[in-house]
Amino acid sequence: MSPPFSSGIYVSRGVALLLAGLTAVLLLALVVLAALYGSCAHVQSSELDSHLVKDTSLSPPGGQEWTQPTPAHESTVGTSQDWRPPSGPWDHLRLPPWLVPLHYDLELWPRLQPDNLSTPSLTFTGRVNITVRCTVATSTLLLHSFFLNYKQVEVWGPLAPDTRNATVGRVPLENVWFALDMQYVVLDLGQSLDPGSSYELNFDFSGQVLQEGSEGLFLNLYTDEDQLRALIATQMEPTFARHVFPCFDEPALKATFNITIIHHPGYVALSNMPQLGQSHRIDVNGSRWTVTSFHTTPRMPTYLVALVICDFDYVSRTERGKEIRVWARKDDIADGYLDFAANHTGPVFSFLEDLFNISYPLPKTDIIALPTFVNGAMENWGLMIFDASLLLELDDDLPEKRAMILSILSHEVGHQWFGNLVTMSWWNNIWLNEGFASYFEVGLTNYFYPKVPRNMIFFLTVLHDILEDDHSLESRAVSTPVENFTETREINRLFDIYTYKKGACMAWMLAGFLSQHLFINALKSYLETFSYSNAEQDDLWRHIQMAIDEQSIIHLPATVKRIMDSWTHQSGFPVITLNASTGVVKQEPFYLERVENQTLLSHNSTWIVPIFWMKNGITQPLVWLDKSSMIFPGMKLSDSDSDWVILNFNVTGYYRVNYDKLGWKKLNQQLEKDPKAIPVINRLQLVSDAFALSKNNYIEIETALDLTKYIAKEDEILVWFEVLVNLINREVVYDVKNYYLYPLLKKYFLKRLNSIWTIYSAIIRENMASLQDNFLSLLPLKKFFETACWLGLEDCLQLSRELFRKWMAHPETAIPPQIEKVVLCNAIALGSNKDWDFLFNLYINKTEEQEDLFHLVHAMGCSKDPRTLNRFMEYDITVFPSRFNETNLIEVVAESEVGRYVAKDFLINNWVAVYERYGPQSLNTLVSILGRTVSTDQQVMELQQFLSTVLEEHQRIVAHAKLQEMKAENLKNKKRIARVVEWLRKNT
């Protein structure tokens, strides 16, 4: 969204000439009005006769023009740009409740023509008639508008009941002006509107189609059937409808829409509803245009209004009597890339219809895959818009890609109920849309992949990421008071990991302590009650409370509202610590790099925590921790070797778990004795929690390391993955100067790897298809394979050589894509110059997708020969344009153990050429490459002296700060690694 521009008075040339001829009295009145409305466009209203009969024609009328300032249209007439309007409702983010929209008749006419795609700026015109009901007597009307120009504005009414198109009077209009900060167009009327009466607001407007990005009405240029083509599409969420037409652009202000699109006859027009009819219109140049109208929509917010003008093809399916069309470029349709999405969309709809017992209300669904769509996907009712990730290309037909497409589809289809049918009242509760759509996306993925446990899908795709990101100091609450925002763009920032993933965790936790049956029944009641309307967070809590009150099995320690408000109204999450010697359980906020006696920053930092737990392999009844500390006698452990307890059983709670020394010791003993007694999801949780707590000073690193002693008995690759990413990460791999660590890690892990390596090496060699139904097992395969080879497992290295040689000899014999990057890297690291030259020749001659090039680039950077690496970097800074212009090859080289030092020296010796090649925007990356090798003040000083000779002063300040930051991080890692080394010596 563009920033607001300075305000001023904006008038058309005609109005300026008219004013020049008026009397001195009128000129004096104009000065007074200008002082009152500094950013307004004064509208001379003598021609607006309230006794005139309303013109109901949709053809563009003549009249005055009011132009909202845009970057291309600066004010040249009027008073000082520094003048401001007096304070009023236009200073607030929320519209005043004076008008309620009932219906929009919207006509849009983008001037896109297939034979004229070189136009520097594409314009559109439009007309909208908005039927509104007045609730408070007012002579000032506010609507949202941003960068729209107005040819004519009229207000008609009051309308007779049930006769919206009846002949009525025109309400005198004195001024039209723009409050740019909050993106309003303001109408000053000559008389007040009557409460309880309905009126019609008519706007004849124009604007520009966005050439880049996806806000409002935007353009895509692309190639199809070897021709340059174009399309127009919309993205209205959250506040971009006002870029396309004047409207009441708030989610609670739902209305019905009759949409008409005027377009070139060579294009098809799509909108939320099925086509109603078509006619033709001749423009002033004699060109013929098609006028496509659509059926009336259900009541919906402006952010769901959608249209697409394109010449795509589609594939069609029918589900329960309703047509589903999936649109894309003709080439993509002909190649069958949309068949997977088309075949699965209907079953996703049916699954959710059956789950909620509420039918999808629209008569059709169009799904379109745009070549470029910054937002990724949008759930518009009846016309869902996606980017190219919806395509399943034949050479990318992998289980992971299928699961991703199902996930994206499921999320947007989930919005048809959570967001479209029932919409949050205001953006502070956007998590009611996104969080629940993310929650049901997991359930649907499990439906299509029943062999993959639902809790594992949730942990690895949702919970793991948000626990890494959320903490009590810098994150935000799920429910954020948007009313305090100072500008509209801040609403955009709510579409983040907290809304999507933490919101999903709130739903996951609710379903956990309520039971799935009770949870779904409560959601059914909520959806039925607020269908075609709006709801707030408290409405959901109330319906869940009603479901609880109607049964006698589930009992809660407080109301649903009190429990869930403790989670949604404060940032972060708790660490739950069990003292197994006493049975005392306490909670405290999770902090990054916790320090001793850290004070709580929030006056309300206690959560009401549901704790499912298991003792000695037996699931225990749910307990609640609703104070900072409580005693649960059943959690106290004896000295018996078979006595152990684990909290957050099945990982339904949104928190991490810590134990005292006795609790961790008992869990270690049980893992070494019989790990299968602890469910795999909790084995994964134990490793994840222990390493996260150790990194942030809640427990010692040795406590986390002790958990890995049993790992030879672990046959779940996902648990192995969690161990490996925490122990053999980039900091460890880069620390080649620590000669003690590598041999100890090698000795510790190689003998423990044998069992699981035997399983997965056989799968790689013989039957990768056996993992088709378990896409989660494919995700950690790359890390597992990479680590085995890095540790020097001979069979891993041999397998890499085998796969590489077969591929060299027979390129059609593809390396399994999950490990292709690792295989190529190992082959080059172990291979000859001939192998490197083979990849280099492929690289400079390859014409396929850039991702394929990246695998080659990464592999060539794995060479251990400094001369070869220097040759590669020299090529990149001397050959222009580069084959892989978006990737910094020096950064790629610096990823390897040897390459980091070679890259540093090359960078210092060729700074000017490198800096010219990658530009000023690369400075942070280049400094990071240098900083990977520093851990002492002397090393920092040497680099600072070098940078002082090549950077300007403001750049030096930033670069020096970055080096100090990296030095501190490197030192911290070295201290941690030193403790790992000491532990390995004792346990290897």
- Binding-site residues from annotation for Zn(2+): 411, 415, 434
Is-contact 406 444, C-beta < 8 A? yes
Distances (CA, A) of 852 to 73, 431, 820, 880: 45, 37, 10, 20
Structure tokens at 872: 């590669």
Residue set of the binding site: 411, 415, 434
**How many angstroms separate the CA atoms of 940 and 128, rounded?**
63
**Residue (of 297, 289, 334, 292) closest to 313 by Cα position:** 334
Strand order in the sheet with 140-144: 40-42, 173-179, 184-189, 140-144
Sheet containing 383-386: which strands, arranged edge to edge?
313-319, 322-328, 364-369, 383-386, 377-378
**DSSP assignment, residue 390?**
G
Nearest to 382 by CA among 300, 450, 471, 445: 300
Q: Is 510 within 8 Å of 564 (Cβ atoms)?
A: yes
Residue whose C-alpha is closest to residue 678's, from 651, 712, 700: 651
Please indicate whether residue 412 is annotated as part of the active site: yes
732 neighbors 741 (Cβ within 8 angstroms): yes
What whole-number distance in Å separates Cα of residue 170 and Cα of residue 197? 14
The structure tokens 């007779």 sit at 160
Termini Cα distance of the chain: 58
Which stretches does DSSP call E strand in 654-737?
A: 656-659
User: Tokens 């948007």 identify what position?
Assistant: 482
Neighbours of 814 (CB within 10 A): 12
* CA angle centred on 547, ends 545 and 548, rounded to 5°: 65
Place of tokens 């088709």: 772
User: If DSSP states are collapsed to H, E and C, what string results for 727-749?
Assistant: HCCHHHHHCCCCCCHHHHHHHHH
Nearest partner of 581 among 631, 627, 621, judged by Cα:
631
Active-site option among 412, 588, 722, 786: 412
SS (H, E, C) 587-629: EEECCCCCCCCCCCCCCCCCCCEEEEEEECCEEEEEEEECCCE
Interior/surface letters 450-459, b for 16+ CB within 10 angstroms, e for the rest: eebbbbbbbb
| Helix ranges (DSSP H) in 124-205 | none
d(CA 157, CA 155): 7
And the tokens for 81? 């740009």
Six-digit token string for 640: 């018996």
In a 3-state reduction of DSSP, which class is residue 513? Answer: helix
Strand ranges for 265-321 from DSSP E: 268-271, 275-282, 288-294, 307-310, 313-319
Q: Which residues contact 952 (CB under 8 A, 6 or more apart)?
A: none
From the CA atom positions of the chain, what is the Rg in Å? 32
| Dihedral (CA of 456, 460, 464, 466) sign | negative
Task: Give the span between the Cα atoms of 272 and 290, in whole angstroms.
Answer: 18
Q: Each residue of 137-164: b (16+ CB within 10 Å) or e?
A: ebebbbbbbbbbbbbbbbbbbbbeeeeb
Catalytic machinery residues: 412
